Amino acid sequence: MAEKLTAKAKIQQQLKQFVPEGFEEMIADLLFSAHVQFKIVRPRNTKLGDYRPAHAGKPHRITVNGNLNTYSFLITTVHEFAHLNTYLEFGRSVSPHGNEWKNHYRKLLIPVLDKKILPKDIETALINSLVNTKASSCADIPLMRVLKNYDQQNETHVFLENIPKHTHFLLQGKEFIKGELRRKRFLCEEVSTKKKYLIHTLAEVIPIFD
């Protein structure tokens, strides 16, 4: 028991740089609640976190991008543990982001809110998200917009939604032209290839003005 407590204390110490103060123990408890491999990984452009079920003798695996601000890291981690808990209860027989996952996500999110130590704007956005839980924080535009306020600010970058239509911009070293809004993404054309891409409305881009 002492060894386990020591290990938990070590995990809490390691988590301090990634989660908001006051949530280290909660996340550590999640890590010890199931046989899961938890890894903080390099940034990925297509996702903030990922859950993979146990397979071929390997344990359940959760990865979270290490460049997230502490609030995004916390919510993404909760999101992925909701996937783990859903799988443990239902296996592969349910939709990845169906009602079963939404219920587990809400169960994990309520203790986060009950602590009453989140910034008020994030708390309000999370409460609103409980009414109609999205598949991810990226799909919940109001929540994502609030979370991005806590990113380290880059003065050369702006949200794609904040530049005019037909504006040229740079994203990941490539030049695009902003097009029509399609739900939560803009249909943009890459200048060099003329290929069309759906780019998230809150993608951080570098506008090119003549």
Q: How does pLDDT run across 122-172, given as a tens digit for each residue? A: 999 999 888 776 555 556 788 888 998 898 766 667 889 989 999 999 998
What is the rounded distance in angstroms from the CA atom of residue 112 to the CA atom of residue 129? 13
Q: Which CATH architecture has domain 158-208?
A: Roll (2.30)
What SS3 state is found at 205? Answer: strand
> Tokens for 121?
């704007």
The whole-number pLDDT of residue 68 equals: 93
- How far, CA to CA in Å, does 130 sit from each of 125, 126, 134, 201? 9, 6, 9, 22
The whole-number pLDDT of residue 86 equals: 96
Give the residue among 95, 93, 64, 78 at the shortest CA–CA distance from 33: 78
Judged on CB neighbours under 10 Å (0-12, 13-18, 19+), 167 is middle
Q: What are the domain boundaries of the chain? A: 2-148, 158-208
Mean predicted lDDT score pLDDT of the chain: 89
Q: Would the pTM of this model clear 0.85, i.e. be above it?
A: no
